[in-house]
Structure 1
Amino acid sequence: MDAVIAVLLVLHVLLTAVYTWDWFDSFGRLQEAVIRLVIGLTLPLVGVLVLKLVDFFCEQDASAQMDEIWLGRGEVADDLNLLRDVDASAAGRAAPAVDVLALSDYGDRRRMIMDTLRHADTADYIDVLREALANEDQETSHYASVVIMDLQGRVQTRLADLRSRLAEDPDDPETLEAMERELYGVIRDGVIDENSLPRYYDAYLSASDHLLARALSGAEKDVAPARADRDVAGPDPGCFHRRVLVDLRRGETEHARETANAYLRAHPDSEDAVLDVIRVCVRQSDREGLDRLLDRLDDLPVMLTSRSLRHIRFLREQC
């Protein structure tokens, strides 16, 4: 009897070892393979059967990954594989990033998230990254949080450098413009947590007010509109456009109107200025303001493109 039990135990150990090795050879996750080996050995005769049943049900439901059950975020065999370019030859990998998150292949999801680090404008993917935070695959969620933290770190580094340069020379126009653009990017992209945004708004408004004051001062001296020399022309005209968008985001429609009209007066050749006035009038339901703009368009030295013409045609049709 003892001999039979010994033979059965040996067969059980061998069967569990063979199963574990076969699983490790297929998936390559050592930590999970060890855990499977321990579970198999502690359940004599039925251990392998139980694990096989678990594998079967996991295959039926792609989201039920065993590594999420006992490893939390799991363990990836080769993280470097996640940094490879997504294979464009596969239909799923050629899909837009937001569609990739819906695929059942977790490897594609993870590679897509890590691939955003290759782009200079990682902030363009912030919506996708935030959606990935809630993904059922915990590895995808973890990688998204890592990329977002990396993005936040880069933003803070650039802001710290600009603050240091402004501390040395508070009146440096190039640094002030760079600070205004950087802070606008923080507000626009939503990289920073909503609870921390108010102080970035305050910093942006301060920088924007300085730039707008310089731009309007230059306009009053007849040196702002349509200048090729930036030293003479003053700040980047885009500071008007960015302030209008921020004001509208904050609900400050009256200041947005003032800024948009000042933008058009200072830069009547700017299509963005025309669009900003339209944008503010629509937001305020100001039909009279729109009619005044439409009446002035033929007298403005601006080259209109499809960006604005489609709005203008629509508005004229409503007259």
Structure 2
Amino acid sequence: MVELVYLLYVILSAIAIRIVYSCSWQEWLLRWLIVSTLPVIGWLFPLFWPKSWSRKKDDEALRQIFEFQDEPEVHQVGIYSRMEAEKETNVVSIEEALLVSGHADRRSVMIDVLKKDSIQYMDILQIAVGNEDTETSHYAVSAVMELKRKLMLALQELTVKYESNKTDPVVLREYVDVLQSYMKSGFLDEKTLRKHKFTYIMVLEHLITVSPEDEPAYLEKIQAELDVKKLIEAEQTALLYFHRYPQNEEAYLALLKVYFYMKSYKKMMGTLEQLKRSPLRLSNRALTLVRFWSEGA
């Protein structure tokens, strides 16, 4: 009797594994051997966990990969790259000074920030507002208020320029940059931020129309559309970018990112296959994505 029950369990398990998991022959055999050798308990092994359990970590890891940017290659490092590196170093040194220096040094650092374009130091300034030294805190508040004033003036000026001339790519790019800085400043509540984001998307659409060679505009628009959950529009923008720049790795990655947010596995795999067949020399980020999804598949 026991043997008959066990035999029935083994047969039903084999059928269930084949129907539920749709795996390869080798994987099916592995699963079947586990549940046959360890009746009932074998079903608790990770191989039988729902995909949603294991995909949460995969999703987070993949989001990080999408946001990751490669280090510039040696032949690409120029004045701009050095300036960006210096700017990042300066931000770190200012943050350290506010944490470990004496009050006099902190005040000196804040005075230096006030003399510079403080938008790049916004995160540091917001930390400095709560500094224990009241004078340092005062300087930080002054810098934040001055930055807010400048951004609002620039935004008002460019809004007027934009309304009177929506076909000038220089005006459109300046307006996009100011909107982006204002949205990242931390001055806006959620409702106002969302409203500015839709304006930002609209201006980027005009910029892409009058200046299709402005590649960053496609990526900026895609990200903004993903942020406000406009997934269909993000797909349309990504496809437009891809059709105009089929030899650009970023176009493939933008499509993959959109399909990842849309949870469209089929479209993602199709784009991945196109990328693998393309003659492009892939960056570390693209190679990581290709390996990640190829192994997953």
TM-score normalized by the length of structure 1: 0.55
CA RMSD of aligned residues (A): 2.9
C-alpha distance in structure 1 between counterparts of 2:260 and 2:281, whole Å? 22
1:308 positional shift: 2.7
Structure 2 partner of 1:34 = none
- Larger RCO (alpha carbons 8 Å, 6+ apart): 2
Deviations 1:112-149 (A, max 9, x none): 333334544x3232112112222222222221221122
Any gaps of 5 or more consecutive residues in structure 1? 1-92, 216-232
Alpha carbons of 1:157 and 1:267: their partners in 2 closer, same or farther (altered >3 Å)? same
Structure 2 partner of 1:103 = 100
1:25-40 paired onto structure 2 within 5 Å? none
> Does structure 1 retain, via aligned residues, the 8 Å contact 2:256–2:272?
no
Structure 2 partner of 1:14 = none
Deviations 1:11-44 (A, max 9, x none): xxxxxxxxxxxxxxxxxxxxxxxxxxxxxxxxxx
Alpha carbons of 1:172 and 1:138: their partners in 2 closer, same or farther (altered >3 Å)? same
1:145 maps onto 2:141 in alignment: yes
1:241 positional shift: 0.5
Comparing both structures, which one devotes a greater share of its residues to helix? Answer: 2
Q: How many residues align?
A: 207
Alpha carbons of 1:107 and 1:273: their partners in 2 closer, same or farther (altered >3 Å)? farther
Any gaps of 5 or more consecutive residues in structure 2? 1-89
Structure 1 partner of 2:187 = 192
Structure 2 partner of 1:290 = 268
Identity %: 25
- Name the aligned partner's letter for residue 243 of structure 1: K
C-alpha distance in structure 1 between counterparts of 2:157 and 2:279, whole Å? 39
1:318 maps onto 2:296 in alignment: yes
Alpha carbons of 1:250 and 1:106: their partners in 2 closer, same or farther (altered >3 Å)? farther
C-alpha distance in structure 2 between counterparts of 1:94 and 1:152, whole Å? 19
Which of 229, 239, 248 is the aligned partner of 1:251? 229
- Name the aligned partner's letter for residue 113 of structure 1: M
> Does structure 2 retain, via aligned residues, the 8 Å contact 1:117–1:147?
yes
1:262 maps onto 2:240 in alignment: yes
Query: Which SS does the other structure have where 2:100 is aligned?
Result: coil
Task: Flag the structure with larger Rg.
Answer: 1
Structure 2 partner of 1:115 = 112
Structure 2 partner of 1:75 = none
C-alpha distance in structure 2 between counterparts of 1:289 and 1:94, whole Å? 41
Structure 2 partner of 1:242 = 220
- Name the aligned partner's letter for residue 291 of structure 2: R
Which of 192, 207, 213 is the aligned partner of 1:211? 207
- Name the aligned partner's letter for residue 293 of structure 1: T
> Does structure 2 retain, via aligned residues, the 8 Å contact 1:294–1:312?
yes
